[in-house]
Amino acid sequence: MMQNETERHFEMNDLDQRMRDAYRDGQPVLSKARAAAARHKSFLIACALVSLIAVLLAILTS
């Protein structure tokens, strides 16, 4: 009986460690500079798309 409980204990510890490792590996951490650069790039892309749509609408309605 004690052997079975010991095995379960080690299995649960191994499972807990694997879950912590999977969580850590699955959560990329961006630096503030990289996050700001990504926001800036997204903003520029959005502005370009809005400008393109405005030009296309101007061409189509004239």
pLDDT for the residue 57: 96
Asked if the model's pLDDT at residue 1 lies above 60, the reply is no
pLDDT in tens, 3-62: 677 777 777 878 888 888 888 887 777 889 999 999 999 999 999 999 999 999 999 998
Residue 8: C-alpha distances to residues 5, 21, 57 (Å): 5, 20, 67
pLDDT for the residue 60: 94
Residues 6+ apart with CB under 8 A from 30: 38
What is this structure's pTM? 0.53
